[in-house]
Structure 1
């Protein structure tokens, strides 16, 4: 897996200082459905391997090009998404990630204004 971007965008919902109304094409229903992308840190490695979490796409993604959400990646790395950590370590891109400012601690916080 190679990331298509390594710098968090200015309007990322994981940023503490962002405003949901400023996110281009924001859709609250779609945002809420992304809860399924959050890995359960209480699962052991085997359980994580067999779970079916998918990556959260950046709101700048298009039908033609999926961009990974760097806020989501940062959150998942901090909260024991072992599969993601292994994939990014193997790609060598883990050291290139650039997070911009304070981040929200939970997915539920990304839904608050």
Structure 2
């Protein structure tokens, strides 16, 4: 039986969207929790996945759904090979809708990382 995504639309305040200020994420923003999500990011092209996923902040506790921005990053520019294999039989992956330009790297989703990158220019 094919696997099916719980969410196919990126939420309004997804941190993977370039236009999102994570400080405006509903229910409070925690830089510490955000930085800990690095454990969900695979080394690009590695066959060793993390075995962890990045849940959408809009998911109710106990009913967590993946973050659409994270998912598309990891099967796209993040090149998470185990996740790519996992979603090969996903029946609704082609229904995923992203909302605008996306960050290429996890580090860019963290507000200070964006500021530091701007200073390096």
TM-score by length of 1: 0.86
| 8 A contact 1:3–1:93 mirrored in 2 | yes
Which aligned runs of 4 or more in structure 1 are off by greater than 2 angstroms?
none
TM-score by length of 2: 0.81
- Higher CA-based Rg: 2
Correspondence for 2:25: 23
| CA gap 1:6/1:60 in 2 versus in 1, 3 angstroms | same
CA distance in 2, matches of 1:52, 1:37: 6
- Structure 1, gaps ≥5 residues long: none
CA RMSD, Structure 1 to Structure 2 (Å): 1.5
Correspondence for 1:33: 36
- Structure 2, gaps ≥5 residues long: 115-121
1:7 is the counterpart of 2:6: no
Residue from 60, 65, 68 that aligns with 2:66 = 68
CA distance in 2, matches of 1:68, 1:60: 10
In the alignment of these two chains, the number of paired residues is 108
| 8 A contact 1:36–1:53 mirrored in 2 | no
